[in-house]
Amino acid sequence: MIALLLRDLRLAVRAGGGFGLGLAFFLIVTVLVPFAVGPQSALLASIAPGVLWLGALLACLLSLDRLLALDWEDGSLDLLATAPLPLEAAVTIKALAHWITTGLPLVLAAPVLGVLLNLPGPGYLWLVVSLLAGTPALSVIGTFGAALTVGLKRGGLLLSLLVLPLYVPTLIFGAEVARRGAVGMETVTPLLMLAGISAGALALLPFASAAVLRVNLR
């Protein structure tokens, strides 16, 4: 499992779907928003949690179309399907590799980019907490979407259409945690909902992804 994780990390970075692409997109979104809404500090502070969460979500979405495509093209998926390692475990490892190369850098970069949007001081901690709790769900849900569209030509657009509606609950509760934390309100309820979404996705979707892959590999 460790060897598979290291292999996926190397592939993610070499394929351009790792640290650089997601962070660059996240930075572009954060920089362009003040130009669109104007230099109003109060307005930027109020929309900062939602904008940062939306930027993180779209940055995660960028690299999903190559998550399983490389393994499909070189035949590695067929080997994984017949390997002693359960396919569910292999899918989980791939989701973990995607989170490490895409989700974790976004979590670390979010407080820095929050300065550009005038995020209130108390909101930085809750922004990081919400992203740590929510980005694993983005990677696991994205892996499920990648399994559904693997092997399809021009599957990237279809993948986005399939995954974006599934991302909405995570986006709502994640942004709500950061927003409430920024204004000093209670954050327990949306944080528990966000953690529940991530836990449910981690518990169920690897099995669904493995089942879909077995169908696609027949």
Nearest to 142 by CA among 57, 18, 51, 29: 57
Overall number of domains in the chain? 1
| Residue 164: both structure tokens together | 């974006």
pLDDT of residue 169: 95
Is 164 inside a domain boundary?
Answer: yes
pLDDT of residue 16: 53
CA 149 from chain centre, in angstroms, equals 17
Is 40 inside a domain boundary?
Answer: no
Is 17 inside a domain boundary?
Answer: yes
The pTM assigned to this predicted structure is 0.89
| Residue 125: both structure tokens together | 């901690």
Q: What is the mean pLDDT of each run of 10 residues along the chain (218 residues)?
A: 75 62 87 85 89 92 79 75 82 89 90 90 93 94 89 75 92 95 92 96 93 84
Per-residue DSSP letter, 100: I
Is 43 inside a domain boundary?
Answer: no
Structural domain range at position 153: 2-32+48-216
